[in-house]
Amino acid sequence: MSRRYSAEAVTAAGIALFQAAGARPEDAQSTVAALVTSSLMGHDSHGVMRIPEYLGLVARGLIRLRSEISVERTGPATAIVDCGHGFGATGAARAVQEGLQIAREQRTATVITRRCHHVGRLGAWVELAAAQGMIALMTCNSPVYGHFVLPWGGRDARLATNPIAYAVPTSGDPVVADFATSVAPEGKLRFYLNEGKPVPAGWILDSDGNPATDPRGFYGPPRGGILPLGGSAGHKGFALSLLVEILGSALAGLGPQDPDFLGNGNCLVLIDPSAFCPPDKFRRLMDETVAYMKSSRPVPGVAEVLVPGELEFRTLRIRRTEGVPIDEPTLLSLHEYGRGFGLDLRQWLN
């Protein structure tokens, strides 16, 4: 069961909660805006349901309320954004801002983060850069406690779900891809576990390294692992996941099991298309490319070919009108946090 609320109401409630928890107005604003947009785009798993999780991290002192972001320009086209364990959304937005400034000068930029908390939907940050005309590519890894994913041929998990996102401007909505390099996220396995249902074949191995469909085969103990993207070509998904791990940890000076690593390790690469093709022509060629993909007649049972991001932008338009769904446990948790802060959220989320 879930109920729908306007994005404005959810945003107001979320900002009130984070400010009551001691967040600076700008941190509360950027964090809630990112989460509500994820929900608007249909990515509920990276949306409003994360508000209570983040409030919990604040309560435990893991998200630092008064941290300062520091930026080190380490080369003409590179920078390190140290997010000081503040809010991930603020850190990610700053990384994009620094990247844009560098890419406008140099035409290409690589920016990595350090001490950055959960950045939410990775697509949000590449979209931000594409809105400024850039091609943006971003990777995001997680510390050892998120290592649920198997290297190809192995039975012990060594990688996180390690998503990759990219965005490219067109003359309309950008093309935006954002996907885990594992075949499925851990959250989906938990859903099957809670429902007492088998997971699809090809998702998990048990701790002996045998294919399993019982989610308990993954959770153990002892724990099994999630397979990398690719099915029978899972070595390709492993290669992608390993790249995300390298760009998130080794490049940032961290070992693969560093106990001090919290949150996400991000790497953002920006390419200014105008270094290669006049901007208007590039957008026209992108429109042609999108149209060419969509001109492929759909397979039986599919209405049309969708390019990456297209479904999300459609959902965004629908949910701006129809509201954002919030599930019952999240709603209860938000109200509970509200009461704890002496805030009555019923003015927004009744």
The residues in 230-269 that bind its own copies, with binding defined as CB under 8 A, are: 230-233, 235-240, 242-243, 245-247, 249-257, 269
62 touches its own copies by CB under 8 A: no
Q: Which of 3, 22, 70, 75 binds its own copies (CB under 8 A)?
A: 75
Q: Which of 6, 19, 45, 107 binds its own copies (CB under 8 A)?
A: 107
In the bound state with its own copies, the residue whose beta carbon lies nearer, of 115 and 337, is 115
Separation of alpha carbons 122 and 162, rounded Å: 10
Cβ contacts of 12 within 8 Å, gap of 6 or more: 348
Q: What is the DSSP letter of 39?
A: H
In the bound state with its own copies, the residue whose beta carbon lies nearer, of 55 and 160, is 160
Reading the block at residue 204, the tokens are 């998990």
In the bound state with its own copies, the residue whose beta carbon lies nearer, of 65 and 271, is 271
Instruction: List the interface residues with its own copies, window 161-220 (CB under 8 A).
Output: 166, 168, 175, 177, 179, 181, 183-184, 200, 202, 205, 208-210
Report the SS3 class of residue 41. coil
142 touches its own copies by CB under 8 A: no
CB of 317 to its own copies, least distance (A): 20
Report the SS3 class of residue 324. strand
List C-alpha distances in Å: 25 to 19, 20, 303: 6, 10, 44
Contact of 66 with 90, CB cutoff 8 Å: no
CB of 180 to its own copies, least distance (A): 8
Nearest to 115 by CA among 311, 253, 313: 253
In the bound state with its own copies, the residue whose beta carbon lies nearer, of 74 and 347, is 74
286 touches its own copies by CB under 8 A: yes
Binding segment (CB under 8 A) for its own copies, from list 38-46, 87-95, 103-111, 214-222: 103-111
Binding segment (CB under 8 A) for its own copies, from list 15-23, 45-53, 145-153, 186-194: 145-153
322 touches its own copies by CB under 8 A: no
Q: What is the DSSP letter of 170?
A: -
Cβ contacts of 3 within 8 Å, gap of 6 or more: 325, 326, 328, 331
Label residue 218 left, alpha or beta by phi (over 0 means left) and psi (-120 to 50 means alpha).
alpha
Instruction: List the interface residues with its own copies, window 296-315 (CB under 8 A).
Output: 296-300, 302, 304-308
Instruction: Kindly tell me the sign of the dihedral angle through the C-alpha atoms of 88, 89, 92, 93.
Output: negative
